[in-house]
A and B are shown apart, each in its own frame.
Chain A
């Protein structure tokens, strides 16, 4: 029994039609949606209750935020390409696109780092005002998710040298891709909420 069912776990389940890994990732993302919904709700409640709230473009660097938005959207495209290459069993292509995704994630973090650095040099810290508290906390938590994505994608790049033909490999890339798109979508909500509203 043990050996026969062990080979079954990556095949679609009887009733849901998706693999364990994919179902798990979707459930994990559901909890992540609750996490970021809470943060956005906090933002809305605090903003509505605030005596004054700065306009995002007066305080934040919109061109850099815009650049970062394009960087992340592009990285989502390269992530899809990496999945497509893994699906088509093209190892070199997969490695090229997953590396590009990791590179773009680093670009995002570096740009973000320049933004934060500029704030710190102007003596703007999370404790400065409630707006800054929201800005630093939300972008910081999103940044942690980007770092998480870098770790997962780097793991896949490393594993691809030996495990590319593992039956679970394509599913793992797909799971990492779903997570990465989620990180992207969170930024697509964060950017207008903080910079443009």
Chain B
């Protein structure tokens, strides 16, 4: 299937049109890191307006066109566009492609002992749909009408009458296509391409996380695709799927026929977007399990509990979506149902976190750079998860909904949670990608500064939210009750700027170490899984010898063995 890859000698074709899962995985990783940086910079611009409302943006204010920022002060429309694009880019172009497209593509075939993905050419197509969709999304800033302004959730009727949304929808359909191709590929690979002896019960937890993630993508994304097509019809063919009868906009009666339901979009959107939350989280959890087992030198605690909980999350993720809609005017009976399912889905998440904490007990912990990231994930995900409970209960949600409390909550899950774990994954698998290690000192600086800054950004938001500050306001001084907590925006903004500086050692370290990092052998972490049983970097076809798996993934510190780890492909004679 993949004999044609790598045959071209031209570098452009070798890197951008290779069907090798490792090249595609690295392309995904680097592209996603680039998009993450873009999304982060949009937020830095927004943070200026929040910290110093109405004052000209330094440097950038003079470069931006007067339509976006007259006299250097951003307009409310531009602020809205930045917010919508920040959310969209971070979720659909940053974290998900990094966790699934990047790590999944590179590591999953290695960990199951496959020579490539099941459909290498579909894999390449998936990357190109992602790249073009992403560039289309970014380019909407320079198109007539500008970028989408209706939040990453794109609620109608606002999304249908605002400019910029059409490009967002087209880009979205491309990104969804990319995800669907990837999901089919991951599932077929995991089920059909495993090495001899690699039973499902011997799969590393990272692979299980990717399988559950792929099922979520496969089954949750099509409803959003359909919903996006319907919204596109509303914008282009002037249908009224999401427009009610007799809609009045700025005192004018809207010409569309009406008869649609705005709430329908919210249901369809969250039917995807709640499983999407777990798509952001599960690959990170998979990475954390690998790093924890490796650096505690003992088997992960409760393999069955973790895998079972991940599957439970995968199923329950489809029946909790409307907890995002408690104050939307939806029936109160429905609210009760979704309150109960939301409380139930917190159980498997807690089970996973507890297993991770127990995994530390009695281990001989090595505080390597990736381990620091994985350890930090535990309390950060804990804070993010626990602060979510008041949002899942209708009584408290009515007060907290649409305040900065929500922003603090989900950013704790995704940024010091998922993103830290993913960065730990970069440090962990870097020796596999390039045969060299990233610099430890720079890595530790990157870790501590990032961790402190992330908390500095997001913790003040809990206080602001509890004080009732609204999340979508362009000018926080516009509402009297948010004036007392407005100075906390300055704290967040300063830490956001520092977080940007904290990424410089990471970027330098990454590109410098590709050529000049300390050389490592094939298995520098002394790990057990199959990704470390092939050369670093692996050649085309991955394994230089036939692979056979004899036992589970985390055989660390076995009694009476000469080393404190037994690779999965090493037979142990009892």
B157 to chain A, nearest CB (A): 14
Determine the distance from Cα of A90 to Cα of B241 in the docked complex, in whole angstroms. 49
Determine the distance from Cα of A45 to Cα of B226 in the docked complex, in whole angstroms. 15
B3: Cβ under 8 A from any A Cβ: yes
Determine the distance from Cα of A34 to Cα of B184 in the docked complex, in whole angstroms. 14
Determine the distance from Cα of A42 to Cα of B403 in the docked complex, in whole angstroms. 31
Q: A34 contacts B238, CB within 8 Å? A: no
A148: Cβ under 8 A from any B Cβ: no
B470: Cβ under 8 A from any A Cβ: no
- The chain B residue with its CB closest to the CB of A36 is B226
Determine the distance from Cα of A49 to Cα of B261 in the docked complex, in whole angstroms. 8
- Cβ of B260: which chain A residues have Cβ within 8 Å of it? 46, 130, 133
Q: A1 contacts B256, CB within 8 Å? A: no
B85: Cβ under 8 A from any A Cβ: no
* Neighbour of A1 across the interface among B219, B241, B541, CB < 8 A: B541
Q: Could you tell me which residues of chain B, from 1 to 26, have a CB within 8 Å of some CB in chain A? A: 1-3
A113: Cβ under 8 A from any B Cβ: no
- Cβ of A35: which chain B residues have Cβ within 8 Å of it? 222-223, 225-226
A59: Cβ under 8 A from any B Cβ: no
- Cβ of B271: which chain A residues have Cβ within 8 Å of it? 38
Q: Could you tell me which residues of chain A, from 69 to 127, have a CB within 8 Å of some CB in chain B? A: 125-127
Q: A23 contacts B192, CB within 8 Å? A: yes
A126-B226 contact in complex given A5-B115, A31-B180, C-beta closer than 8 Å: no
Q: Could you tell me which residues of chain B, from 212 to 226, have a CB within 8 Å of some CB in chain A? A: 218-223, 225-226
A13 to chain B, nearest CB (A): 3
Hey, what's the 0/1 contact readout for A12-47 against B, CB within 8 Å counting as 1?
Answer: 011110111001100110111011111100100110
A197: Cβ under 8 A from any B Cβ: no
* Neighbour of A46 across the interface among B180, B220, B261, B546, CB < 8 A: B261
A34-B222 contact in complex given A6-B2, A127-B238, C-beta closer than 8 Å: yes
Determine the distance from Cα of A38 to Cα of B271 in the docked complex, in whole angstroms. 10
Q: B115 contacts A1, CB within 8 Å? A: yes
- Cβ of B229: which chain A residues have Cβ within 8 Å of it? 137, 141
- Cβ of A127: which chain B residues have Cβ within 8 Å of it? 237-240, 256-257
Hey, what's the 0/1 contact readout for B351-363 against A, CB within 8 Å counting as 1?
Answer: 0000000000000
Output the residue of A20, A36, A50, A51 with the most chain B CB within 10 A: A20
User: How many A-B Cβ pairs are below 8 Å?
Assistant: 137
Output the residue of A2, A31, A128 with the most chain B CB within 10 A: A31
Q: A6 contacts B184, CB within 8 Å? A: no
- The chain B residue with its CB closest to the CB of A14 is B194
Interface residue count on the A side (C-beta < 8 Å): 42
Q: A38 contacts B223, CB within 8 Å? A: yes
- The chain B residue with its CB closest to the CB of A16 is B191
B389: Cβ under 8 A from any A Cβ: no
- Cβ of B268: which chain A residues have Cβ within 8 Å of it? 38, 42
A151: Cβ under 8 A from any B Cβ: no
Q: B233 contacts A31, CB within 8 Å? A: no
Hey, what's the 0/1 contact readout for B162-194 against A, CB within 8 Å counting as 1?
Answer: 000000000000000000100111011001111
Q: A2 contacts B188, CB within 8 Å? A: no
- Cβ of B225: which chain A residues have Cβ within 8 Å of it? 35
B544: Cβ under 8 A from any A Cβ: yes
* Neighbour of A126 across the interface among B191, B239, B259, B544, CB < 8 A: B239
B426 to chain A, nearest CB (A): 28
Determine the distance from Cα of A169 to Cα of B200 in the docked complex, in whole angstroms. 30
Q: Could you tell me which residues of chain A, from 147 to 194, have a CB within 8 Å of some CB in chain B? A: none
A9: Cβ under 8 A from any B Cβ: yes
A130-B192 contact in complex given A9-B118, A46-B264, C-beta closer than 8 Å: no
Output the residue of A32, A38, A49, A136 with the most chain B CB within 10 A: A38
B407: Cβ under 8 A from any A Cβ: no
* Neighbour of A50 across the interface among B188, B193, B226, B259, CB < 8 A: B259
Q: B115 contacts A137, CB within 8 Å? A: no
A129: Cβ under 8 A from any B Cβ: yes
Determine the distance from Cα of A19 to Cα of B543 in the docked complex, in whole angstroms. 22
Q: A126 contacts B261, CB within 8 Å? A: no
Q: Could you tell me which residues of chain B, from 551 to 569, have a CB within 8 Å of some CB in chain A? A: none
A2-B221 contact in complex given A38-B227, A127-B257, C-beta closer than 8 Å: no
Q: A13 contacts B2, CB within 8 Å? A: no
Determine the distance from Cα of A15 to Cα of B189 in the docked complex, in whole angstroms. 12
Hey, what's the 0/1 contact readout for B277-316 against A, CB within 8 Å counting as 1?
Answer: 0000000000000000000000000000000000000000
Q: B239 contacts A27, CB within 8 Å? A: no
* Neighbour of B222 across the interface among A6, A16, A38, A133, CB < 8 A: A38
Output the residue of A1, A16, A28 with the most chain B CB within 10 A: A1
**Would you list the 3 A-B pairs with minimal beta carbon distance, nearest first?**
A13-B192, A2-B541, A130-B259
Between-chain CB contacts (< 8 Å), 8 pairs: A13-B194, A14-B192, A14-B196, A20-B192, A45-B261, A126-B238, A130-B239, A136-B237
Given contacts A42-B230, A130-B260, 5 further A-B contacts (CB under 8 A): A1-B545, A2-B115, A9-B1, A13-B191, A46-B241
